[in-house]
Amino acid sequence: MNRPTVVRTRDELRNVLAPARRAGRTIGLVPTMGALHDGHLSLLRAARQRCDVVVMSLFVNPMQFGPQEDFASYPRDEERDVALAGQVGVDVVYAPDAAHVYPPDFATFVEVGGGLTDVLCGDPGRRGPSHFRGVTTVVAKLFNAVEPDVAFFGQKDAQQAIVIQRMVRDLEFNIEIVVLPTVREPDGLAMSSRNAYLSPDDRVRARALNQALTKVLEVAKAGETSTERALAEARAVLAEAGIEPEYLEARDAENLTPVTRFGPRPVLVAVAARVGRARLIDNVVVDATPANEPMAASVDTTGGAPCVGRC
């Protein structure tokens, strides 16, 4: 594969995309913070398959990191990321500087409310809704800079995907959002750029996140309707690995209101936990609606995981 064209400014980006846009070719965007793993690659491959032109953005967005978080240490290796992007057929890598994205008197924010951003990873006692404000603001900017027909996000950051879908609907962006399944390691751990922070011991313990969620799927499939009882079993799995979750909750998969029973609407079961130096997240969707083979899609291990936002 060819090396992608790397551009640093929105003007360069628009210039390089102009001929394709004039010719009516479709443009796909995969927003990333780099440190690419197989989750990102599955998004990029899907974009390659679906669109005429594939743009990957590569920007570690300071606005979505809290003051106590790992912005400074977040893994950065542009050369490697660009090479990997080239291997899966990315045409353009948009890698702007922070000063280009946020001029000194930057003052505009896009904020999604509606109970979607102040729960789970946005809970004021955790990262707070300003995390998602950072995500939606930068994604709105990327949407306007790239003007894609389709943008690809991963189900690993489930709350982020829900928030972005709401933003797209509410602000009427003319962009199709595709959310692809979480990609996992062979032992079930969700792919994440932050897995690199795990010591060998922590790497073993981290398997418990997926195991706990798989337990929820199992007991729900076996007929358990109480989310509380299912979550208690999951909590036991985590405890056995010495993991105290930051949260482990069952919420409506569309509007994130708390749910006490599985079905008829799909239920998002989401977990966040610190394992050693890494803050990890994972989730499954329990879908007991009659039309679906219960939960079959939720344990898919072949799809994509995102990392534009992190949670």
Q: Does 141 bind its own copies (CB under 8 A)?
A: yes
Contact pick of 19, 66, 113, 258 for its own copies (by CB under 8 A): 113
Q: Does 268 bind its own copies (CB under 8 A)?
A: no
**Nearest CB to its own copies, comparing residues 142 and 285:** 142
The full DSSP string for 213-262 is: HHHHHHHHHTT--BHHHHHHHHHHHHHHTT---SEEEEEETTT--B-SB-
The full DSSP string for 7-26 is: E-SHHHHHHHHHHHHHTT--
Least distance in angstroms from the C-beta of 279 to its own copies: 26
Contact pick of 30, 53, 84, 116 for its own copies (by CB under 8 A): 116
Q: Is 300 helix (H, G, I), strand (E, B) or coil?
A: coil
CB 175 within 8 A of CB 148: yes
Q: Does 97 bind its own copies (CB under 8 A)?
A: no
Residue 173 CB neighbour total at 10 angstroms:
18
- Say how far apart CA 34 and CA 307 lie, in whole Å: 8
Q: Does 111 bind its own copies (CB under 8 A)?
A: yes
Q: Hey, which residues are catalytic here?
A: 40
The pattern of x and - marking residues 66 through 95 that bind its own copies according to CB under 8 A reads: ------------------------------
Q: Does 265 bind its own copies (CB under 8 A)?
A: no
Do the annotations mark residue 39 as ligand-binding?
Answer: yes
- Say how far apart CA 268 and CA 261 lie, in whole Å: 12
Number of residues that bind its own copies (CB under 8 A): 33
Name the residue with tokens 């509380």.
Answer: 228
Both tokens of 236, joined, read 């036991």
Contact pick of 87, 144, 199, 225 for its own copies (by CB under 8 A): 144
Do the annotations mark residue 192 as ligand-binding?
Answer: yes
The pattern of x and - marking residues 225 through 264 that bind its own copies according to CB under 8 A reads: ------------------------------x---------
Q: Taking the alpha carbons of 264, 271, 43, 25 in that order, is the dihedral positive or negative?
A: positive
Q: Taking the alpha carbons of 52, 148, 183, 96 in that order, is the dihedral positive or negative?
A: positive
Interacting residues toward its own copies by CB under 8 A: 10, 14, 22, 24, 103, 105-116, 136-137, 140-141, 144-145, 147, 166-167, 169-174, 255
- Binding site membership for ATP: which residues? 33-40, 154-157, 183, 191-194
